Amino acid sequence: MRDYGRGVRGICGTEKKRAVGVETLKNKMKEFDLDLDKDVIAVTTNEASSVKFSRCELVRELILHGFPRPQLENWVCLIEGESSGRTDVIGGPDSDGSYDHGLFQINDRYWCSHDRPGKGCNVLCSDLRSENISLASKCAKEIYRQSGFDAWVAWRHECREKLPNIHHCGI
């Protein structure tokens, strides 16, 4: 069986921390007399395209994207293990030189392309790192359809025996 995912641990940021980070950057740019209008737009645009989901936010998003309720604990565990709930994570390189993308850490060797939509999910890898998780969800469901949860390393190592409690999320 192939490894389509890769365990990734990231530093979890919040919207408040991002806003503070941008303000700090603006202050530093003033110190060095840099053009705020031109330079900060790129930084804030990049920051705005990522999301860090809490466990319950993740449950709600998965339900909205049609994931079966009996599988939610498995999907939440997989996502927390692979990307810590972040949509912008790029993991790798893997031993074969490939990289894993987004919330579900979907591998670019098998499932996505960089220059135009393609491979198993017929999607751009950058689309898998969007705050809109529709394409990433569709691709993850296709991977699951073909290989089950075993396709993801984090699920095999962290979730097979112990799933997170999501009952406090009101589902």
Exactly one of 61, 88, 100, 108 is catalytic; which is it?
Answer: 100
- Answer whether 149's CB lies under 8 Å from 159's CB: yes
Total of domains in the chain: 1
With a threshold of 0.75, does the pTM exceed it?
A: no
Question: Helices in 6-71 by DSSP H: which ranges?
Answer: 15-31, 36-48, 55-64
Token duo for residue 22: 């941008």
Say which of 61, 82, 88, 108 is annotated catalytic: 82
Residue span of the structural domain in which 51 resides:
1-171
- CATH number of 165's domain: 1.10.530.10
Asked if 119 contacts 112 with a C-beta cutoff of 8 angstroms, the reply is: yes
Q: Would you give per-residue pLDDT tens digits along the chain (171 residues)? A: 334 343 333 323 333 333 333 344 344 445 444 443 333 222 233 444 789 999 999 999 999 999 999 999 999 999 999 999 999 999 999 999 999 999 999 999 999 999 999 999 999 999 999 999 999 999 999 999 999 999 999 999 999 999 999 999 988
31 as an active site residue: the answer is no
Dist CA 139 CA 149 (whole Å): 13
Active site residue 82: yes
